[in-house]
Structure 1
Amino acid sequence: MTKLFKSAIAIVGTVAILSTAACSTPGDGGTDSQGATGGTLKVLANGDVDHLDPQLTAYVPVAGVMHAISRSLIGYPTVEDPDARIVPEGDLAAALPEASADGLTYTFTLRDGVSWGAPDGARPLVANDFERGIKRLCNPLMSGAMLGYFQFLIEGMDTFCTGFADVAPDAASMKDYIENNDISGIESPDEKTIVVTLTEPASDFIYMVSLDAAAPAPIEALDYLPDSPEYRANFVASGPYTVESHSPDALLVLKRNDAWSADSDTLRKAYVDRIEMTMGVEGDSAMQQLQAGSADLLFDIQPSPANIQQLKAVNDTKLSTMPNGGVDQFMWINTKTSNNGGALQDIRVRQALQYAVDKAAVIQTMGGEELAAVNNGIFGPGIVGYLPYEPYPTTGSKGDPEKAKALLAEAGYPNGLTLKFPYRNLGLQPDIAQTVQSSLEKAGFTIELTPVPPTDYYANLMTNHDNAVNGVWDIALVGWSPDWQGGAARSVFQPQFTFNGTPQAYNYLDYNNDEANEYAKQALLATSPEEAAALWHKVDESVLADAVILPIASRLKANYHSDRVVGFTPYALSQNGDWTNVQLKK
């Protein structure tokens, strides 16, 4: 199995790092020629963490926090090479497990020396702690955002969760249920062995258990409501740092976890002594502080296109970019609405939209090719299954308004159509919407733009399926990043493009494609990355043939750090520098 996953780097394909960041990587000796052990790493944030509870977090930047305080069975190396950084390795597990011959059973062996920083002192992290963490995913108070990946995949978990739903949502009742009910598909024959049995083969299961959601949980976690202030104040860490204090929307302070052993952790060096994350900082102010050296790293902030142009003009090597596997922007085309007599239900009209959009112009609006690239499928670079192709080709990706007009006329709309186009009134989104509007109007569409506050766009507009049925919108731009890296095609396809009768928040049209579902099923049965990649590409082709979405761009994540930082190297899940592997200059 180890060899199988290492060969994945040949399939993903090299994605060039577009900056010339000359960052040194700390060596095994604990310091390099410029950095030193110790000091306080200062991180700047605009907002707070979504959760400090591993089972509940789903916000990409928080993966950096979790990497410092929580460990999962599987992790990723912190390295510069964009292919190598998405190849899974053992974290708490001593090695990648071998799957059984039928692909249903995985056996993990815990490393020696892994411990919890428990209130009474260091205590060994044991096999049962993994099952406890998985059980917490479906607690009746606040279920984990990643629950859907595990509930029907791990044998017996659906039964466990169905019973849990009837439990009173207080700490004592939930603790009693967790401690007295088992998931049949998770066994711990001894304190260091975890055996997981699946309901069906899943070639991406190894990647799934790299998620923070799949982290083990200590017994103390059951004494508090999930992610409550009491839970946060009594956080029990397995990583090299633990929570010293958290003031919501103001300050998060991490200190060393004395129970952590460097010998048990091949992924984290833990050079700095403390990490302080200050919140409520605006982008320009954050960049000024980093450039002045009064702060070191960014959390949920990234340099603006104007910042980036200025930094590149002076060849500032502290700027770097990285792919994230996502597609941002892409457009949903509303096939549920009866607007225009149901015109968007005609595939020729949807194909006309595909040909009409000038993707190259959108790339320029987003900051140019150094920050974004044209994307024509549901997967972005860095995902097993991504393959550059163009199902609706136009010269230079600039659109073909005449072909679009011809398709509209063939569909019975020679005078074009008027479409409702809401957009987020935030950052570059108004400019992007206007760029798309311009290209669509050249193709005969009339576009009615409507600004929507960013806090309402997803929560109240897009995820309310009645708005699609009632024709509140005809076309809408969204973005999507995978929930993990590498073999993450499931985390793109399943939440957005499958429907089994139960609505999913981000499948805005209850879209379903039986052919794509079958290819996805085969991909999850694949025994090699090569086979999986080919099948996931067929999934991509099947979805794009329906033309219900219009992929436009894949965005590169831009990062910046202060001159004090040595060894700034990307960590795949946070799409940022790894807090646990940077040093500060002497």
Structure 2
Amino acid sequence: MARRRILTAAAAAAAVLLITTGCSTANTNGTATAGEPVKGGTLKVLANGDVDHLDPQLVAYVPVYSFMRAMSRSLLSYESSDDADKRIELQPDLATAVPEPSADGLKYSITLRDGVTWGAPDGARAIVASDVERGFKRLCNPLISGALSGYFVDLIDGMSAFCADFSKVAPEVGPMKEFIEGNDIAGIATPDDKTIEFTLTKPASDFPFMLSLDAADPAPIEALDNLPDSPEYRKAFVSSGPYKVKEYSPDAKFVLERNDAWDPKSDPLRKAYVDGIEMTMGVEGDAAMQQLQAGSADVLFDLSPSPANITQLKAANDKKFSTMTNGGVDQFMWINTKSPNNDGALTDLKVRQALQYAMDKTAVVQTMGGKDLAGVTNGIFGPGVLGYEEYDPYPANDGKGDPEKAKQLLAEAGFPDGITLKMPYRNVGTQPDIAQTVQASLKKAGITIELTPVPPTDYYANFMTNVENATTGKWDVALVGWSPDWQGGAARSVFQPQFVFTGTPQAYNYVDYNSDKANDLAAQALAASTAEESGELWHQVDEAVMADSPIVSIAYRLKPNYHSERVAGFVPYAQSQNGDWTNLWLTK
């Protein structure tokens, strides 16, 4: 699964081993409301790997949002909820309210609520407007820029110029601190300690949703005393949430304890029932599940129940198992229009449409675990994204495929005897089975698929994002996945990185696809004054892209979660795709 900005190339390679992502149904957890909440105890978390970053401006790996929820408060965020619609509704966090745009759509004003504080080394200190601006300044530091910075740099007035100048600064603590404290971003004004005013370069109705990202979190002055996300930075992390770092051993152990500077009266989203959170790393999936079922651990970090685990849990009607949505599409198949193979056949729309009709999506869903864990998709957006609508631009027997229609289109394109295509796949988990299911599906339409296994650590980082592999025809079609970078009004984070080409290649737009029509509709969607209008326009973007058939949309996954018997109040937090650690409690 590739999730640009939420999963960087390196993170994605690790995540495909560990996380099942996708869109889903409502939580089915039976203990979500069991008993009255109680305070106390240590939540025991099991992980295979470490956090990718502990620096909010750099966080891009979905599981880490569980830690950020506990340690770093955002301007806006989401309420944990069993209701799939409610949990993607923006809520104020540090802000007093979700901001409304000015009449021209270019200005937003945020007021910080009272009582919000840093757990600073010398005692609690108020979070102020300049801390918010400092966070944005840190996004494009010359040592390691934030993976999500691209959404803000060209959108906030003056930020592009600020970042261009910052790039010339030596990537050292002293020069970077001096530049940040001595220079301003024109489009971020702080008229007083409570007020932040943003001026945008163009209307962006999704800007408030972007402020829910930890990349937009405030940064204390202490954050400038160490290199971004360095061991020294992690050790000295200044928390604004209910928990702070007590102990951290890379790739081994991570312990959080209560942050006494946090005022629960100032926080409408976190109850902080447990006294501490302790994560043990280096645990394999099956061993983790055994510990949760035995009660020696409580929740998972970057692990999910395996298909075999899920079968057993569902057969036993285990109420501690649940699924949730996240707006992603996983799987879908990119079509390489740059491939010289078959005399450039994939540049022919009829050939690409043949692939649409040939695909048996229901068979792929079955391979992914059946309808309880996956569902058919037909566009670029998954359920849960504003702009998603159920529609089928290439109707083929309710997702089962129409081989005869595919053969007809191939014949009209000059391939009456079929066509042979190269398809790489990740040789991990269920990916080989999914690849073989696709191969068998397309064979019925006279499309021969030659499969090539690729190690999961190389698939995105080195194979798919290598432009030469596309232009030399090392692949013709390839299975990938994508999740939005934030929740709710997140269509931009699906469309922009994958389906827009402005002359500068983007890592996950593998063939430099571009549609002037879709781009124009997207601009209208971002300038829309209501969510309803924006959603309709984003759906038209979806239709415009799919009319060109650059991908075959196949399926979404449901994100499975599991917890121990002693955990109560396990309710999903949309950003982390996990139960909200700051709102669950322990019954013993």
TM-score by length of 1: 0.95
Contact 1:19 1:317 in 2 (8 A): no
Q: CA deviation at 1:510?
A: 1.2
In structure 2, the partner of 1:337 is: 339
CA distance in 2, matches of 1:313, 1:242: 40
Aligned with residue 262 of structure 2, among 260, 263, 268: 260
Q: In structure 2, what residue type is equivalent to 1:168? A: A
1:489-525 CA-to-partner distances (Å, cap 9, x unmatched) read: 0010001110111111111111111100000000000
CA distance in 2, matches of 1:245, 1:343: 57
CA distance in 2, matches of 1:78, 1:500: 37
CA distance in 2, matches of 1:95, 1:532: 21
Instruction: Give secondary structure in 2 for the equivalent of 1:36.
Output: coil
Contact 2:500 2:512 in 1 (8 A): yes
In structure 2, the partner of 1:463 is: 465
In structure 2, the partner of 1:419 is: 421
Contact 1:18 1:370 in 2 (8 A): no
Instruction: Give secondary structure in 1 for the equivalent of 2:333.
Output: strand
CA distance in 2, matches of 1:466, 1:140: 28
Q: In structure 1, what residue type is equivalent to 2:247? A: S
Contact 2:111 2:195 in 1 (8 A): yes
CA distance in 2, matches of 1:18, 1:494: 28
Correspondence list, 1:459-498, <5 A: 459-498=461-500
Instruction: Give secondary structure in 1 for the equivalent of 2:62.
Output: coil
CA distance in 2, matches of 1:269, 1:193: 26
Instruction: Give secondary structure in 1 for the equivalent of 2:576.
Output: coil
In structure 2, the partner of 1:120 is: 122
Correspondence list, 1:68-79, <5 A: 68-79=70-81
1:23 equivalent in alignment to 2:23: no
1:409 equivalent in alignment to 2:417: no
Contact 2:27 2:82 in 1 (8 A): no
CA distance in 2, matches of 1:151, 1:23: 43
Q: CA deviation at 1:20?
A: 3.6
CA distance in 2, matches of 1:18, 1:204: 24
CA distance in 1, matches of 2:355, 2:407: 9
In structure 2, the partner of 1:108 is: 110
CA distance in 1, matches of 2:396, 2:235: 56
Q: In structure 1, what residue type is equivalent to 2:32? A: S
Q: In structure 2, what residue type is equivalent to 1:23? A: T
CA distance in 1, matches of 2:210, 2:52: 20
In structure 1, the partner of 2:174 is: 172
| CA-based RMSD | 1.1
In structure 1, the partner of 2:9 is: none
Contact 1:336 1:469 in 2 (8 A): yes
Aligned with residue 577 of structure 2, among 565, 575, 578: 575
Contact 2:24 2:558 in 1 (8 A): no
Instruction: Give secondary structure in 1 for the equivalent of 2:198.
Output: strand
Aligned with residue 561 of structure 1, among 546, 551, 563: 563
Q: Which runs of 5+ in 1 are unaligned?
A: 1-14, 26-31
In structure 2, the partner of 1:277 is: 279
In structure 1, the partner of 2:251 is: 249
1:313-336 CA-to-partner distances (Å, cap 9, x unmatched) read: 111111110111000000000001
In structure 2, the partner of 1:53 is: 55
CA distance in 2, matches of 1:457, 1:24: 38
Correspondence list, 1:1-12, <5 A: none
1:504 equivalent in alignment to 2:506: yes
In structure 1, the partner of 2:17 is: none
Q: In structure 2, what residue type is equivalent to 1:21? A: N
Instruction: Give secondary structure in 2 for the equivalent of 1:395.
Output: coil
CA distance in 2, matches of 1:321, 1:103: 37
1:389 equivalent in alignment to 2:391: yes
Instruction: Give secondary structure in 2 for the equivalent of 1:272.
Output: coil
Q: In structure 2, what residue type is equivalent to 1:116? A: W
CA distance in 2, matches of 1:283, 1:232: 27
Q: CA deviation at 1:19?
A: 5.9
In structure 2, the partner of 1:7 is: none
Q: In structure 1, what residue type is equivalent to 2:391? A: Y
Instruction: Give secondary structure in 1 for the equivalent of 2:67.
Output: helix
Q: In structure 1, what residue type is equivalent to 2:30? A: A
CA distance in 1, matches of 2:332, 2:24: 22
Q: CA deviation at 1:24?
A: 3.3
Q: CA deviation at 1:21?
A: 2.1
Instruction: Give secondary structure in 2 for the equivalent of 1:55.
Output: helix
CA distance in 1, matches of 2:322, 2:32: 13
1:224-246 CA-to-partner distances (Å, cap 9, x unmatched) read: 11111111011001111111222
Identity %: 70
1:72-93 CA-to-partner distances (Å, cap 9, x unmatched) read: 1001011111101100011000
1:204-225 CA-to-partner distances (Å, cap 9, x unmatched) read: 0110000010000011111111
Contact 2:27 2:572 in 1 (8 A): no
In structure 1, the partner of 2:204 is: 202
In structure 1, the partner of 2:529 is: 527
Contact 2:29 2:570 in 1 (8 A): no
Contact 1:34 1:585 in 2 (8 A): no
Instruction: Give secondary structure in 2 for the equivalent of 1:369.
Output: coil
Q: CA deviation at 1:472?
A: 1.0
CA distance in 1, matches of 2:170, 2:195: 32
Q: CA deviation at 1:550?
A: 0.6
Instruction: Give secondary structure in 1 for the equivalent of 2:102.
Output: coil
Instruction: Give secondary structure in 2 for the equivalent of 1:172.
Output: helix
1:237 equivalent in alignment to 2:239: yes
> Cα gap change, 1:19/1:311 in structure 2, threshold over 3 Å: closer, same or farther?
farther
In structure 2, the partner of 1:95 is: 97
In structure 1, the partner of 2:3 is: none
Q: In structure 1, what residue type is equivalent to 2:475? A: W
Q: Which runs of 5+ in 2 are unaligned?
A: 1-22
1:393-417 CA-to-partner distances (Å, cap 9, x unmatched) read: 0112111111111111110011111
CA distance in 2, matches of 1:174, 1:19: 45
Q: In structure 1, what residue type is equivalent to 2:109? A: T
1:68-115 CA-to-partner distances (Å, cap 9, x unmatched) read: 000110010111111011000110001112321111111111010111
CA distance in 1, matches of 2:535, 2:429: 35
CA distance in 2, matches of 1:377, 1:509: 18
CA distance in 2, matches of 1:568, 1:415: 55
Q: Which moved more, 1:16-25 or 1:209-218?
A: 16-25
In structure 1, the partner of 2:374 is: 372
CA distance in 1, matches of 2:234, 2:57: 13
Contact 1:34 1:566 in 2 (8 A): no
1:438-461 CA-to-partner distances (Å, cap 9, x unmatched) read: 011111111110100000000000
Q: In structure 2, what residue type is equivalent to 1:39? A: G
Aligned with residue 318 of structure 1, among 311, 320, 324: 320
Q: CA deviation at 1:23?
A: 2.6
In structure 1, the partner of 2:545 is: 543
Q: CA deviation at 1:33?
A: 3.3
> Cα gap change, 1:18/1:114 in structure 2, threshold over 3 Å: closer, same or farther?
closer
Contact 2:80 2:87 in 1 (8 A): yes
* Corresponding residue pairs, total: 566
Q: CA deviation at 1:35?
A: 4.3
CA distance in 2, matches of 1:181, 1:107: 21
CA distance in 1, matches of 2:83, 2:127: 32
Q: In structure 1, what residue type is equivalent to 2:277? A: I
1:324-367 CA-to-partner distances (Å, cap 9, x unmatched) read: 10000000000011111101111111111111110000000000
Contact 2:26 2:83 in 1 (8 A): no
Q: CA deviation at 1:418?
A: 1.2
